[in-house]
A = this chain, B = another copy of it.
Amino acid sequence: MSGTCCQDTLHCVLDYETPKTLVIPSLRVGCVFRFTQLLVVLYVLVYVCVIQRAYQDTDSVLSTVTTKVKGFSLTNVSNQEPQVWDAADYIIPPQGDESFFVLTNMIVTPDQIQSRCAEPPSPSTVCVDDCDCIEGLNDPRRNGVQTGLCVNFSETVQTCQVFSCPALLAAAENFTVLIKNSVIYPKFKFHRSCEFNRKTDPDCPIFKLKHIVSEAGEDFQEMAVKGGIMGILIDWSCDLDWWWADKCFPKYSFRRLDNKNPTNNVAPGYNFRFAKYYKSPEGEESRTLTKAYGIRFDIIVFGTAGKFGIVPTIVNLGAALSFLSLVPMVADWFLLTCTRKRDYYSRQKVSYLKEDAEAESISMATYGTN
């Protein structure tokens, strides 16, 4: 008895149950079947594998950025002596990391006293007497609110006097920035540095600020007056499979990130106030407040690296197989509805069981030999 039971279990586990099949030698049905199969296989090969690279495991980039801005500029505000500005003065804070601010325009109020000065001469600012200067006039491209007085700019020229003399660093557009960029894909233990070298690293250039701004479709001199935020987007998307690994390069793009023409007037452009603190010999502290306008450059490094992974491959192949298993349904539907001999095929393929219980005994007799 136990032996029989054991044998039954063995049969139950190891007997192989396979569907009975019918081979239909119809060229049309066969073509439909193979063509549908081909479509699915092509989708998998072309779209999933080649275009989307869905067989890859992915990882997001980690990065560090160092920047170094170089260049000099001169300001010549009428009531102050000419001043040379270098990176230590116009990069605030002086350290270059992934966000650096270049001072392009400022209004300085030393010892908190609002100053007045003659505007630099230009067709719209030269004047003969006070009538040429309108008190309160405020032209955003010029130097400030006019006081209504016409004063000597130099010994030969008179210009309108304005409040709060701004000092524009006009040469800032020719400053250059060196971007050193180091990326890590921790999942794939991949590390790469990008640093300018004319020969070996032409993909890591030294940029001129003017070019960055103009690539984004903006005008540097216009932006310099009220300030703004420029995004330097570095796309480090990499395919780390096979021989591609050595062709993992950064792609640069530039974009203005602040709202150029805001619908409201809440803080357009980009500016902030900072103070320099001084102490008189008597120990009294004073400060010079600077309203700094300038362009903040935000370096945004992003990207995804892909490398062959078993799990995504299995998942995508599995999905494709599921669709392949739909193909016989399409072919069956075609077989049973669109072919000339559909009734014949249907009878051969499909058996209808009789509903009534008596059929059981009859069927048993008929199928007894099987």
Known: A68-B272, A184-B233, A257-B182. A97 touches B99 (CB 8 A): yes
A182-216 near B? 1/0 per residue, CB < 8 Å: 10101000010101111010000010000000000
Interface size on A, residues (CB 8 A): 129
Residue from the list B14, B25, B319, B332 in contact with A11, Cβ < 8 A: B25
The answer for the CA separation of A257 and B66 in the assembled complex, in Å, is 10
Query: CB distance A195 to B18 under 8 Å?
Result: no
The answer for the CA separation of A118 and B276 in the assembled complex, in Å, is 29
Query: CB distance A34 to B14 under 8 Å?
Result: yes
A315 surroundings in chain B (CB, below 8 A): 54, 315-316, 319
A306 to chain B, nearest CB (A): 13
Query: CB distance A300 to B266 under 8 Å?
Result: no
Query: CB distance A258 to B184 under 8 Å?
Result: no
Stretch at the interface among A119-127, A150-158, A238-246, A359-367: A359-367
A64 within 8 A of B: yes
Interface of A is mostly: mixed
A270 within 8 A of B: yes
A231 to chain B, nearest CB (A): 6
A281 surroundings in chain B (CB, below 8 A): 280-281
The answer for the CA separation of A317 and B326 in the assembled complex, in Å, is 12
A182 surroundings in chain B (CB, below 8 A): 229, 231, 257-258
Query: CB distance A18 to B21 under 8 Å?
Result: yes
> Within the oligomer, what is the number of copies of this chain?
3
Known: A18-B331, A350-B17. A60 touches B62 (CB 8 A): no
**Closest B-chain residue to A289, C-beta based?**
B88
The answer for the CA separation of A266 and B13 in the assembled complex, in Å, is 65
A277 surroundings in chain B (CB, below 8 A): 276, 278
A99 surroundings in chain B (CB, below 8 A): 97
Stretch at the interface among A71-79, A136-144, A163-171, A341-349: A341-349
A274 within 8 A of B: yes
Query: CB distance A273 to B184 under 8 Å?
Result: no
A289-322 near B? 1/0 per residue, CB < 8 Å: 1000000101010100000001100111111111
A16 to chain B, nearest CB (A): 5
The answer for the CA separation of A30 and B52 in the assembled complex, in Å, is 39
A38 to chain B, nearest CB (A): 12
A276 surroundings in chain B (CB, below 8 A): 277
The answer for the CA separation of A33 and B362 in the assembled complex, in Å, is 27
The answer for the CA separation of A329 and B255 in the assembled complex, in Å, is 55
Known: A255-B191, A298-B64. A311 touches B263 (CB 8 A): no
A86 within 8 A of B: yes
Instruction: Enumerate A7-66 residues with CB–CB distance to B below 8 Å.
Output: 11, 13-27, 29-31, 33-34, 43, 47-48, 52, 54, 60, 62, 64, 66
Known: A22-B20, A186-B302. A369 touches B366 (CB 8 A): yes
10 shortest interchain CB distances as A-B pairs: A318-B319, A14-B30, A318-B322, A94-B274, A321-B322, A88-B273, A19-B19, A278-B279, A197-B264, A88-B275
Extra contacts besides A88-B289, A180-B267 (20): CB < 8 Å: A13-B34, A14-B27, A16-B24, A16-B33, A18-B332, A19-B21, A20-B20, A43-B314, A62-B233, A64-B229, A88-B272, A95-B272, A180-B258, A186-B235, A317-B319, A318-B320, A318-B321, A319-B322, A321-B323, A341-B357
